[in-house]
């Protein structure tokens, strides 16, 4: 339903977006993920109509929206700073768009009360915005957008101001609301775990270009570039040297791969302690251990001096600090770029 066609954008003679192409399906939870400055907000503002589309076009339901003003685009946006009206109470904030549409008073009341119940704010109608917690403000902002029943809701880092626990909770709530309303979400974030956990598909942007557009599963298991391999999830990264037909790390560990490459990656959970039957084994020393209940993270130094992180999930501790251990993994676990 939303097509981004060959979009490029220059600011001060420098391209911040380069030939961006993708299509978003109706009802999809779609994230645009990238580091700070990669061009995410610029793209979102073009969809919303706040930044002029330079080269390329944007289509909603096959019609170009290039020349439509923001209010005619059937999209709504939840800003990072929420942009709520501080002088109005919760009811008035949520009712704002419907009032502007001049709907009858009793219909506005009915719809506002319905949506407030859905976002868990029943009974908060008369509260002032500054009398709400961060999570409650967030829900008002979302209710205010959802009530307009846009085809597409754009969300620009909407959870970034919340503390960790609330953010975790709101991730789940957002996902549930999105499914319930069946609205297409375009979600901007620099936080890979937010994008991975909530999205149907994620578009990874790096320096203005798409590195990979894929499902969270494929981004994690089949990253197409070294950037995606290091940006998504935890990964062990090795810089490589190719000499005398041998691929080695800078510290001299020879990889069992007869091919030129610049980087190798091995996921921390692919590496085993004291393995039974792994194709590759190395000696390593345990430098430090981080325990968080669900997982244990071991920071190791291999016999060649390479730093390696190993993660086990919900298992008893298998080694202590300063222990000399054997670690192992299979050839398939090594991804090269
Ligand atoms: N109006 C503007 N004039 C000039 N340069 C701009 C303008 N808006 C954005 N830029 C530049 O374009 C680049 C992309 O910015 P953008 O805000 O889209 O990135 P982002 O990925 O959303 O980053 P963040 O996560 O930090 O918000 C940055 O280098 C930024 O400085």
Centre of ligand 1 from the C-alpha of residue 151, in Å: 26
Q: What is the average pLDDT value for the chain, to the nearest integer?
A: 92
DSSP 184-245: EEEEEES-HHHHHHH-SEEEEEETTEEEEEE-HHHHHHS-SSHHHHHHSS--EEEEEEEETT
Dihedral-angle region of residue 182 (phi above 0 means left; psi in -120 to 50 means alpha; beta otherwise): left
Residues at CB less than 6 angstroms from ligand 1: 11-12, 16, 34, 36-42, 190
Q: Is the ipTM of this complex over 0.90?
A: yes
Q: Give the pLDDT confidence of 48-104 residue by residue, as tens digits.
A: 999 999 899 999 999 999 999 988 888 988 887 778 888 899 999 999 989 988 889
DSSP three-state, residue 142: helix
Model's pTM, two decimal places?
Answer: 0.88
Q: Which atom of ligand 1 is the closest one to the Cα of 42?
A: 18
Residue nearest ligand 1's atom 6 by CA: 11
Average pLDDT of the residues in 11-30: 94
Q: Which atom of ligand 1 is the closest one to the Cα of 38?
A: 21
Q: Could you tell me which of 302, 329, 306, 300 has the C-alpha nearest to residue 241?
A: 306
Centre of ligand 1 from the C-alpha of residue 71, in Å: 23
Centre of ligand 1 from the C-alpha of residue 43, in Å: 10
Centre of ligand 1 from the C-alpha of residue 49, in Å: 16
């Amino acid at each position: 339903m939303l097509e981004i066609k060959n979009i490029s954008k220059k600011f001060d003679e420098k391209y911040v977006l380069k030939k961006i192409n993708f299509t978003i399906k109706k009802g999809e939870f779609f994230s645009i993920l990238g580091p700070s400055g990669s061009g995410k907000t610029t793209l979102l503002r073009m969809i919303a109509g706040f930044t002029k589309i330079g080269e390329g076009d944007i289509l909603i339901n096959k019609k170009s929206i290039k020349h439509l003003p923001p209010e005619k685009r059937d999209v709504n946006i939840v800003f990072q700073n929420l942009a709520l009206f501080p002088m109005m109470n919760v009811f008035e904030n949520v009712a704002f768009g419907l009032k502007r549409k001049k709907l009858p008073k009793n219909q506005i009341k009915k719809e506002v009360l319905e949506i407030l119940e859905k976002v868990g704010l029943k009974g908060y109608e008369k509260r002032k915005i500054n009398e709400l917690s961060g999570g409650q403000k967030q829900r008002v902002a979302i209710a205010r957008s959802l009530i307009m029943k846009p085809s597409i809701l754009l969300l620009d880092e909407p959870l970034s101001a919340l503390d960790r626990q609330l953010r975790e909770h709101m991730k789940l709530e957002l996902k549930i609301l999105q499914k319930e309303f069946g609205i297409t979400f375009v979600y901007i974030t620099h936080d890979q775990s937010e994008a991975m956990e909530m999205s149907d598909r994620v578009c990874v942007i790096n320096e203005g270009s798409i590195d990979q557009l894929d499902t969270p599963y494929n981004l994690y298991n089949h990253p197409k570039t070294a950037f995606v391999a290091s940006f998504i999830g935890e990964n062990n990264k090795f810089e490589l040297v190719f000499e005398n037909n041998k691929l080695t790390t800078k510290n001299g560990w020879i990889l069992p791969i007869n091919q030129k490459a610049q980087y190798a990656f091995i996921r921390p959970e692919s590496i085993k302690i004291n393995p039974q039957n792994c194709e590759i084994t190395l000696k390593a020393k345990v430098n430090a251990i981080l325990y968080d209940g669900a997982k244990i993270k071991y920071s190791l130094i291999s016999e060649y001096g390479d730093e390696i992180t190993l993660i086990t999930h919900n298992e008893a501790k298998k080694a202590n600090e300063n222990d000399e251990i054997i670690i192992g993994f299979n050839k398939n676990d090594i991804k090269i770029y």
